[in-house]
Chain A
Amino acid sequence: MTSQLSSLQKYPGGGEGGRAPQTPAMLMRNVIPVLTVTAALVALWYAAVIPMNAQWAQDQARRAGVELTLPTLVADTMSQQRPRLPAPHQVATELWNSTVVEEMTGRRGFMNTGSLSNRSLIYHGWVTLSATLLGFAIGSALGIALAVGIVHNRAMDVSVMPWAIASQTIPILAIAPMIIVVLNAVGITGLVPKAIISTYLSFFPVVVGMVKGLRAPDQMQLDLMKTYSATGGQVFAKLRWPSAMPYLFASLKVAIAAALVGAIVAELPTGAVAGLGARLLSGSYYGQTVQIWSALFAAAILAASMVALIGVVQRATLKRMGMAA
């Protein structure tokens, strides 16, 4: 019997087999394709910059009575003040200048005044981020609460989902101004109206994901709980909730990106003076395409970091639950 046991003990393949940490070689294998795609996209972007901006460069040259050679034309398309399509390095420079340089050396920068400069993307990013996070928190909580209701209550099951779906078919651009105006009229301004629009966009993926997740346990697992005569609360805490974890994180990733979009859109109709949305708006008023593009990239970087952050929490949680993703 003991010999049987020791032979069985070899079965699990050393336990942790197949879940080894990434080696540098594996890391390179993952990084190289990413870099290749990025390089290709940047090259494509540069290639597009030339025809997009050539018209303006040639008009200027004609007015000045000069003949443009191809090299000067190309150089000119990439260094215009208000290009139709700014070159990648212009956007990168603007991003750098309006964040690090502005805060370090700007007259109203952090180094000189101790507070963030209203000309910096860090300041505007934070304004949008705070509304995003508040909206995301409310939206996730609401989404989870609705999902719990839908899974446990038949009336909610048939009545809530159609409304949730209908709510998402209304263009956010149409409903955002109305929410802002109505809330303004009752004296709610600032962060909260923006957060509510973030909530509006972010609760939906959480509802859908969590309904699926809370229903993930199969009949056998539910029967097992029944043989223990477990209460509804115990079935939820010990079976449904842990089963839903992978679904929760997947939907939170979608939700936080949606929350950011909501916060940015919420800044547009009010002509807000601060926030990434405000930067987009003022950039388009004054034809500051470089400013628009850098605000867009700031938003993208923000969204990517938040999604990555949730990914870190996800990996840590699932690892602790023995379900390393």
Chain B
Amino acid sequence: MRDIATAPVISAQNLNLTFQTGDGPVHALKDVNLDIAKGEFVSFIGPSGCGKTTFLRVIADLEQPTSGTISVNGLSSEAARKARAYGYVFQAAGLYPWRTIAGNIKLPLEIMGYSRADQDSRVKKVLELVELSGFARKFPWQLSGGMQQRASIARALAFDADILLMDEPFGALDEIVRDRLNEQLLELWARTEKTIAFVTHSIPEAVYLSTKIVVMSPRPGRISDVIDSPLPRERPLDIRDTPEFIEIAHRVREGLRAGHLDD
């Protein structure tokens, strides 16, 4: 047993995952080794089919690895899921159309058996966190796409999970909304001190958000580079014009290109 304070929150060792398909086996993940420490913001970036979403789903116990081990909070991924260790934000907001915004955020709280009073106070708190106070009683169709995605983040924050897994949460949004949400996400991360694993297609997004960038490449899906970002935790949007930022972005791009040259 390692010391709790320094032990990684998420740890993958020699992780392999092979899907059996009609066209033969697909190596979604090959020999993945990665440790994520508490309070880190880790981005997974790579082209389609590099296994970044699959890896996130393995952490969440939504996929089972073929071999290797994954531990979350020192538990197996299944035990961690049952202990409600993480909140998961999907690519689409996936709000229930028959529930109001407040009702949607209450969904996990109802399932996990929080008291009625606790539910209400938590809804209020997370709606403030994602700047949606005043929309509690609106239905999802009354909100824009960006607002819906913020509501779905609020839903993942409502219960006491200190890990947030985000699968391309802003992929379907336009650049301007995405910038704004990235800024808000960083604020939120600073305030809540959660550990965040974030899957993205966008190099600027990955560099802007992360303390650690994991570059992945396809066929078989594997990690080709891990970059520890030297950028400070406090990041205004215009940090993206600094030489440090551009240098990291360049390294990520090189990593992605190298992964493709292997084909």
Which residues of A are interface residues toward B (Cβ below 8 A)?
1, 4-5, 8-9, 11-12, 15, 220-221, 223-230, 234, 238-239, 242, 245, 321-323
Q: Give 19 pairs: A residue, B residue, CB < 8 Å, sorted on A.
A: A1-B131, A8-B147, A9-B134, A12-B138, A12-B144, A220-B91, A220-B92, A223-B88, A227-B62, A227-B86, A228-B84, A228-B107, A228-B108, A229-B84, A230-B111, A239-B96, A245-B98, A322-B97, A323-B98
**Is B60 interfacial (CB-CB < 8 Å)?**
yes
* Given A221-B96, A228-B108, A230-B111, 19 additional A-B pairs, CB 8 A: A4-B131, A5-B131, A8-B147, A9-B134, A11-B143, A11-B144, A12-B142, A15-B142, A220-B92, A223-B88, A224-B88, A224-B94, A226-B61, A228-B84, A234-B111, A245-B98, A321-B98, A322-B100, A323-B98
CA distance A12 to B82 in the complex (A): 37
Chain A residues with CB under 8 A of B91: 220
Chain B residues with CB under 8 A of A229: 81-82, 84
Q: Which residue of A lies closest to B81 (CB)?
A: A229
**Is B112 interfacial (CB-CB < 8 Å)?**
yes
With contact pairs A224-B94, A227-B62 given, residues A238 and B144 touching in the complex (Cβ less than 8 Å): no
B98 and A322 within 8 A (CB):
yes
B81 and A226 within 8 A (CB):
yes
A322 and B139 within 8 A (CB):
yes
B92 and A323 within 8 A (CB):
no
A238 and B82 within 8 A (CB):
no
Chain B residues with CB under 8 A of A239: 96
Contacts between chains A and B (CB distance < 8 A), count: 66
A238 and B107 within 8 A (CB):
yes
CA distance A5 to B131 in the complex (A): 7
A227 and B81 within 8 A (CB):
yes
CA distance A245 to B142 in the complex (A): 21
Chain B residues with CB under 8 A of A242: 96, 98
Interface size on B, residues (CB 8 A): 34
Minimal beta-carbon separation of B150 from chain A (angstroms): 10
**Is B245 interfacial (CB-CB < 8 Å)?**
no
Chain A residues with CB under 8 A of B180: 4
Chain B residues with CB under 8 A of A225: 111
With contact pairs A4-B180, A12-B138, A227-B88 given, residues A238 and B131 touching in the complex (Cβ less than 8 Å): no
Residue among B61, B86, B141 with most chain A CB within 10 A: B141
Minimal beta-carbon separation of A129 from chain B (angstroms): 32
CA distance A81 to B187 in the complex (A): 87
**Is B90 interfacial (CB-CB < 8 Å)?**
yes
A223 and B62 within 8 A (CB):
yes
Cβ 8 A contact of A227, one of B60, B138, B147: B60
